[in-house]
Amino acid sequence: MTLLAARGLAVARGGRLLAEGVTLELARGGAALVTGANGAGKSSLLRVLAGLLAPAAGTVERFGRVAWMGEAAALDPERALADALRFWAAQDDVPAADTRVAAALAAVALEDIADVPVRLLSTGQRRRAALARVAAASAPLWLLDEPASGLDAAAVARLELLIEGHRGGGGAVVVATHQPLALPDATEVAL
């Protein structure tokens, strides 16, 4: 089953054409790796795929819910981490928000600091918290912009396992990154 279909996409930002002719189809279990230099349009392409930015040309179809991870963690800095994650998990209208949040915190090794306010987290912990927000969403399609940024080697390994588990469970992922990341059989989209 197809989760994402992009055909003939052109991506522009600030009146400047960044990419054109991008075609991508992802089925359950699929992955795409978006690569390119700084300013090439990786983040803008992900925003177009998420529906946050209109394409300059072409079409995007998403089949099912999408979980987006951008530069910001999108978590209330004054809330305890688990509470901030539960807020978003409850928005998804999917049962068992508490269970999904607990599993996501464990997957990114943050369960020991679930009661710490988000504002006190380190850069790497905030990045892992953003990944936990995506994992707790139970969305079939993940769009991850530089998910390994600020992560140490152990956290990158957990990220790779998290993505592998998501794909193995029938999800799909599009990752934009500068850093090496194990995504077996991923379709490469070079910008």
CATH of the domain at 92: 3.40.50.300
Considering the domain boundaries, does residue 1 fall inside one?
Answer: no
Mean pLDDT of all residues in 54-58: 96
Residue type, position 56, single letter:
A
Considering the domain boundaries, does residue 50 fall inside one?
Answer: yes
Residue 93, pLDDT score? 78
Q: Is the pLDDT of residue 71 over 90?
A: no
Q: What Cα–Cα distance (Å) separates residue 149 from each residue in 2, 64, 66, 111, 115?
A: 29, 27, 21, 21, 24
Q: Where are the alpha helices (DSSP H) in the chain?
A: 42-50, 81-91, 97-107, 123-136, 153-168
Domain range for residue 116?
28-54+65-186
Mean pLDDT of all residues in 100-120: 96
Crossing angle between the packed helical segments 153-168 and 97-107, to the nearest 10 degrees: 140
Considering the domain boundaries, does residue 8 fall inside one?
Answer: no
Considering the domain boundaries, does residue 11 fall inside one?
Answer: no
Q: Is the pLDDT of residue 38 over 90?
A: no
Considering the domain boundaries, does residue 9 fall inside one?
Answer: no
Give the position of tokens 């769009």.
143
Considering the domain boundaries, does residue 107 fall inside one?
Answer: yes
- Reported as a single tens digit per residue, the pLDDT across 12-34 is 988 899 999 999 999 999 999 99
Q: Is the pLDDT of residue 37 over 90?
A: no
Considering the domain boundaries, does residue 90 fall inside one?
Answer: yes
Total number of domains constituting the chain: 1
Considering the domain boundaries, does residue 115 fall inside one?
Answer: yes
Residue 95, pLDDT score? 81
Please list the residues that pair with 190 across neighbouring strands.
35
Give the position of tokens 């006190």.
120
Rounded Cα gap, residues 57 and 12, in angstroms: 9
With CA atoms as reference, report the closest residue to 26 among 48, 44, 5: 5
Q: How many CB atoms lie within 10 A of CB 98?
A: 14
Q: Is the pLDDT of residue 94 over 90?
A: no
Mean pLDDT of all residues in 56-79: 93
With CA atoms as reference, report the closest residue to 117 among 84, 90, 150, 70: 84
Mean pLDDT of all residues in 130-143: 95
At residue 40 the predicted structure's pLDDT band, cuts being 50, 70 and 90, is confident
Angle, alpha carbons 118-119-121 (nearest 5°): 70
Mean pLDDT of all residues in 183-187: 94
HSE of 32, CA atoms in CB hemisphere, 13 A: 26
